[in-house]
Structure 1
Amino acid sequence: MIEKDNLQEAEGTIEKPIPKEENTIAEDKTKSSEEIDATESVDSTEKDEDVVNEIEESNAEEGEDDGVKERHRIELKDYEAMSMEDIISEFNRLVKHEKVQAIKSHVDQIKKEFGKKFNHFLEEKKEEFIADGGNEVDFYYSSPLKKRFNDIYKEFRNKRTAHYKDIEQNLKENLKNRLSIIEEIKGLLNVEESINSTYKHFKELQESWRNAGPIPRNDYRDVWNNYHHHVENFYDFLHLNRDLRDLDFKHNLELKLKIIEQAEELAKEENSNRAFRELQALHKMWKEELGPVAKEHREEIWERFSSATKKIHENRQEYFANLDKIYEQNLIKKNDIINKIDLVAEDESNNHSAWQKKIKIVEALREEFFQAGKVPVKVNEATWKKFKESVRSFNRKKNSFYKGLKKDQFENLKKKLELIKIAEENKDSEDFKTVTPLMKKIQSDWKSIGHVPRKDSDRIWKQFKGACNHYFDKFHANKKEANKEENEALEKKNALLEKLKGIKLSGKQKEDIE
């Protein structure tokens, strides 16, 4: 057998063919890298578009109804940390004193938090009802708080319905008017008149457009894009009179550059939410108030404006990221509170005094939970569910204890009613020798029996005390009468003794006897 010469291979002079499979992998890796770059580019573009879309949607909403802008001024409070009473008070204030179209997000949050708190409260009441021996199907709870909330919410809905009914027809008319203006601008390209007359007509149409009023938000983007498209077409048509066109282009460029400078300054603003709101106003001006610029500047200035927009958006996202960190800390606090409630529920102390102490601890922990602040949205419902279950577990044990306690108290009530019966039956007896020990015994038994339901306590005590007092008043009166006769006899004896002391003896027996 001839041995293979490995010398060349060892020195690396022979090239090994790359297996087909390895070639495929290498090609796939190169392709994958290119795809990633392309995907990242697309994702970046899509994100930029999403930011602009978000701004335009907000502007469309505010453009439809100018009063919506007021929402940025109205504080969105931490309704989770508020009691049901405070939530209702704030709800009433908003409905009474703020524009109904500006408080939608506030009302949505209020409705959510009040509903959450009230349902939890109602569940506790139901469990107490069942623990007291009630049937679940018979449970009914009427809450003045819930009625008050419903009344305010009804007022809010009525105001909102009336408001949007008023503006609905105006929005439709404005839309019709704007579409008509667009058609007129389109028609300018085919008008046979001097370019100066056409340009003057165009400027009049632009002025009409600016004063045409708000339109339905669903039509906002399409209508405005359509308008800008035909305005640009008209300016392209004006190439026959470059002076007029270039003058407008120059004016628009100057204004758009000022907007860009403002946006770039906003990118340095620390308050990212305020910066974003002001950015919305700049986008509104850019889109609604300014016309096109020369083609050679269009992409450049839009890229610059988009870059500033992106920076402001990134600042805002960073703010929300930091907010998420705070929410994560709040989550840790809330989970710690839930664990503390579980520990209290596991405490085996099982007397009234201990339970009253535990109830106070859990009430304080509940309040601490509501004051702990918001948690990340993704775990909000799960955290609330966990909290409710811990409180429910505690309440079940509490209700079980007091159910047993009430059973004992009911037995005590029966025993004390038996003692009252004995006292009532014997209160008029004159067999003091027999009855007095009996009455003293039932008084001693009364003290040893223990508590009865609070609602019966005063009533039965007065009844028992009255019967006992009646008997012993009679007993003492009889004893006093007997003592009176004894006292009279004693007084007579004492008087006789005093008389005897006053007699002087003569020493003569016969005379002294007489």
Structure 2
Amino acid sequence: MAQEQEEGVRSEEQEDLEQKTVDTLEIDLNSELTEEHEEETPDVDYSQLSKEQLVNLLENELSSIQNEGLKPASLKKAEAVAKEIRPVLDQIKLKDREAALKAFVADTGGEEGFEYKYDAETQKIDALSREIRGLKNSFYQGQEKEKEKNFNVKTALLQRLRALLDDEGTRETDATGLKSSWEEFKKIQDDWKQAGNIASPHNGTLWATYNALIDRYFSNRNIYFELKELDRRRNADLKAELCEKVEELGKSLESRPMTKEILNEANHIFEDYKHLGPAPKEDQEKLWQRFKEALDVLYNAHRGQFAEQKKSMQENFEQKLKIYEAIVPFTTYNSGSIKEWNGKTKEIMAFQDQWVALKGIMPREEGKDLSKKFWAALKTFFNNKGEFFRQLESKRELNLELKTELCVEAEAILAAGEDNPSTTQKVIELQKRWKGVGQVPEKFKDTIYDRFKKACDAYFDGKRAKNKGVEEEFEINLKRKTDLMDRIEAAAKSKDESSLNLLSAFKSEWSSIGFVPKKDMQAVQKRYIAAINTYVSAIGQLSTKEKEAAVLESEVELVRDGESNRNLYRKESDIRRKVTQLENDIALWQNNIEFFAKSKTSDKLKAEFERKINSAVNQLEELKHQLTIIQEAI
């Protein structure tokens, strides 16, 4: 029994040594990670970034925090970015407000009543910074609460462990009681492992108390010393498995690069290793050295990767230097063409996209200086472009005055209320002149166009409304003329009622009815002439010559009512020209027929020409009849 107690004491010393070694390695590893992380953090001159770029930068940091699930590293990085942006934002706010105040004083002569509201992008930067700060505060407040909760949990576990030890020392237990006590002890161990971290001032004390109680428990359970040894052997097997896992991670570097994910996985395995109980004393140090060597492989690879990263930083610097040298000529560019300026803008924006696309960091001092020069060159180009457009804006102001005058003229025509072809032509001319005037300032583009369009639309809407009324009147006239033609045709069928007096009454009534729709005009006139011809033929007391004269007179009156003298003269000229052409064609075709008569195989061709001649003769008679009517009307 004494020998077992002595071995128990030696085991306790070994456990203390192991625990101190593990805690020391954890502190060293965390310190090393912190230093490397600080080395990798790039310097950015935020004063050279635009508001939009600052917003994008903060949104990316916020997205990184949310995607990674509120991790300390991402929160710390985002908070650092937000802090560095804050003085830049304050400077932007001050500059914007001073500019607004200066403009206000210039307009009003004093500062009284001045109010200023920052633009949407400035407010967005503020909101994003506050959100990042809020997430960080909430996270660490939650961490503190969680640590306090864990402290209470671990304190309660220590109390349970003390109660278990006190119970062990004051009562006699059989095998069943010992087993129950052992299960409670293992349950306390598992709960202790599941409990998270606590505030550092209490960590050492709690661990020391916990380890002391564990030692006391095993010292008091000499009967279960064999179980303890079995547990240590099991711990040795588990630790060996963890060693193998870390060693496998090291071997995997042969086929994939070192990443933060691999380091995180190794740290999780390290946490599991810490929480495992001691192994047999002959294996304890060997296992620990094996585990530490496996970890060293990973961290040596990480350090080597950082050396490669420095090389990559230099390469990144050289690539960005080439981009800067490519945009230097843009700083002296000048042109009088909007298209050429826009073309150059696309070119320089392409270089800017290349710059932004190079995500890697550069050597701190050289990179900071190069960034300043790059963004200064961009600023110079856009300042020159802005000056060009300021001069262009003055021309647009002149165009605004010209278009305003056109609006006034269109509104004056609308106010006069005149609706005639001359006025309509004036409005059309104003529209043509409008198209010939160049662009106006962008902020007046829609309002001035809407004003001019409103006046023109109002004029043509009024004209269309008036024409609609005329069309309705034409439809009524069509109905009246149709009714009249029905009565004339009915009277022609009753020959006893036909007389010249009634014919005159019909003609007078026809003349009193106004115009019909243009689409119905020819059909109505043809039907009217046909009805008059039928009616005249029904008058028995008239000779054939008198009937022809009466019909001709009706046709003449119809033509005279529908056309002006100017149009009648033009029609007469057109008909005479057609008559002459037809007479020439008929003479030519008749001559050709005589020629064909001498050929034995020309019967088919001769018949075709005879058909043409007959058609032309009929057309000629109709044209001559029309010519007679027009001459009578003139």
The TM tier, using the shorter chain, reads 0.5 to 0.7
The reply on whether 1:141 has 2:129 as its aligned counterpart is: no
2:289 alignment partner, one of 274, 297, 303: 303
**Which residues in structure 2 correspond to 1:81-480 (within 5 Å)?**
102=70, 105=73, 138=116, 140-142=118-120, 167=146, 170-180=149-159, 204-205=184-185, 207-212=187-192, 213-219=194-200, 222=204, 226=208, 230=212, 244=226, 247-270=230-253, 271=256, 272-273=258-259, 274-294=261-281, 297-376=283-362, 378=364, 387-414=374-401, 417=404, 450-457=438-445
Q: Is the CA contact (8 Å cut-off) linking 1:232 and 1:292 kept in structure 2? A: no
Note if contact 1:409-1:452 (Cα within 8 Å) is conserved in structure 2.
yes
Quickly say closer, same or farther: Cα 1:265–1:250, change in 2 above 3 A. Answer: same
Alpha-carbon deviations, 1:47-81, whole Å to 9, x = none?
Answer: x998632657999xxxxxxxxxxxxxxxxxxxxxx
TM-superposed CA distance for 1:375, in Å, is 1.2
Residue-by-residue CA offset, 1:486-507 (whole Å, 9 max, x unaligned) = 948978999xx99xxx9xxxxx
CA drift of 1:353 comes to 1.7
Q: Could you say if the C-alpha distance between residues 418 and 218 of structure 1 is closer, same or farther in structure 2, counting changes exceeding 3 Å?
A: same
- SS at 1:361 equivalent: helix
Tell me the CA shift for residue 357 of structure 1: 1.5
Query: Over residues 163-221 of structure 1, what are the superposed CA-to-partner deviations in whole Å (9 max), with x where a residue is unaligned?
Result: 66874653232232355468779x89x96999999998688545413213324343386
Maintained 8 Å contact 2:399/2:440: yes
Corresponding residue for 1:25? none
Relative to structure 1, is the Cα distance of residues 221 and 264 closer, same or farther in structure 2, using a 3 angstrom cutoff? farther
Q: Distance in 2 between matches of 1:93 and 1:262?
A: 29
What residue identity is the alignment partner of 2:251?
K
Q: Residue 53 of structure 1 is aligned with which of 27, 38, 61?
A: 27
Q: How many Å separate the matches in 1 of 2:436 and 2:126?
A: 47
The one-letter code of the counterpart of 1:260 is C
User: Could you tell me how far 1:267 is from its partner in structure 2?
Assistant: 2.2
SS at match of 1:374: coil
CA deviation profile, 1:81-102 (whole Å, cap 9, x unmatched): x99789969967985xx7x955
- Cα deviation for residue 251 of structure 1 reads 4.2
Instruction: Go from structure 1 to structure 2 and tell me whether the alpha carbon gap of 1:425 and 1:207 turns closer, same or farther (over 3 Å shift).
Output: closer
- The residue number in structure 1 matching 2:5 is none
Alpha-carbon distance change, 225 to 354 in structure 1, aligned in 2, over 3 angstroms: same
CA distance in structure 1 between the partners assigned to 2:393 and 2:245 by the alignment: 72
- After superposition, the C-alpha distances for 1:103-122 in whole angstroms (9 at most, x for unaligned) are 565566678889999989x9
State percent identity of aligned pairs: 17
Contact 2:79 2:136 in 1 (8 A): no
Whole-angstrom CA distance in 1 between matches of 2:137 and 2:566: 90
Q: How many Å apart are 1:287 and its aligned residue?
A: 1.2
Q: Match for 1:218: what amino acid?
A: A
**CA separation in 2, counterparts of 1:112 and 1:346?**
37
Give a deviation string over 1:210-262, Cα, whole Å, max 9, x none: 21332434338625752685379659968988964655554444443443343
Query: Quick check: 1:410–1:453 contact (8 Å CA) kept in 2?
Result: yes
Asked if the contact 1:252–1:291 (Cα under 8 Å) also holds between the matched residues in 2, the reply is yes
Tell me, in whole angstroms, the C-alpha distance in 2 between the residues paired with 1:111 and 1:412. Answer: 51
Shift of 1:264: 2.9
Alpha carbons 2:247, 2:294 under 8 Å: kept: yes
**In structure 2, what residue type is equivalent to 1:52?**
E
Which digits, 9 at most, give the CA deviation of each residue in 1:375-424, with x for residues without a partner?
14846766665554443333322222222221332244335546766888
SS of the residue corresponding to residue 211 of structure 1 reads helix
Q: Trace 1:25-64 onto structure 2 (pairs within 5 A).
A: 52-53=26-27
Amino acid at match of 2:27: N
Report if the CA contact (8 A) 2:246-2:291 is conserved: yes
Deviations 1:475-494, CA, capped at 9 Å, x for gaps: xxxxxxxxx99948978999
Secondary structure at 2:251 match in 1: coil
- State the Cα deviation string for residues 277-313 of structure 1 (Å, max 9, x = none): 332233222211222542x554444333222211111
Is the CA contact 2:406–2:434 (under 8 Å) kept in the aligned structure 1? yes
- Taking structure 2 as the reference length, the TM-score comes to 0.45
**Gaps (5+ residues) in structure 2?**
1-21, 34-52, 106-114, 419-426, 460-562, 577-623, 629-634
Give the secondary structure class of the aligned counterpart of 1:397.
helix
Q: Distance in 1 between matches of 2:412 and 2:387?
A: 38
Instruction: Give the secondary-structure state (helix, strand or coil) at the position aligned to 1:349.
Output: coil
Cα deviation digits, residues 421-467 of structure 1 (max 9, x gap): 68888998x9xxxxxxxx9x999998887543244456657877979
Q: What amino acid does structure 2 have at the position aligned with 1:265? A: E
Q: Name the CA distance, whole Å, in 2 between partners of 1:196 and 1:279.
A: 44
Q: Residues 300 and 203 of structure 1: is their aligned pair in 2 closer, same or farther, counting only changes over 3 Å?
A: farther
Contact 1:328–1:376 (CA under 8 A) maintained in structure 2: yes
CA distance in structure 1 between the partners assigned to 2:199 and 2:363 by the alignment: 28
Residue identity in the other structure for 1:453: P
Partners of 2:75 and 2:136 within 8 A in 1: no
Using the TM superposition, give the Cα deviation of residue 361 of structure 1 relative to its aligned residue in structure 2, in angstroms.
Answer: 2.4
How much is the aligned-residue C-alpha RMSD, in angstroms?
6.3
CA–CA distance in 2 between the matches of 1:333 and 1:289?
50
Contact 1:415 1:449 in 2 (8 A): yes
Q: Do 2:150 and 2:195's aligned partners in 1 also have CA atoms closer than 8 Å?
A: yes
Determine if contact 2:396/2:441 at 8 Å carries over to the other structure: yes
Bigger radius of gyration, 1 or 2?
2
Which residue identity does 1:334 align to in structure 2?
Answer: K
For 1:259, the aligned partner's letter is: L
SS at match of 2:335: coil
The answer (yes or no) to whether the contact 1:51–1:310 under 8 Å persists in 2 is: no
Please state whether the residue corresponding to 2:152 is helix, strand or coil: helix
Once the two structures are TM-superposed, the CA of residue 314 in structure 1 deviates from its matched residue by: 0.7
- Cα contact 1:224–1:288 (8 A) shared by 2: no
Aligned to 2:620: none
Count the aligned residue pairs: 397
| Separation in structure 2 between the aligned mates of residue 202 and residue 57 of structure 1, nearest angstrom | 38
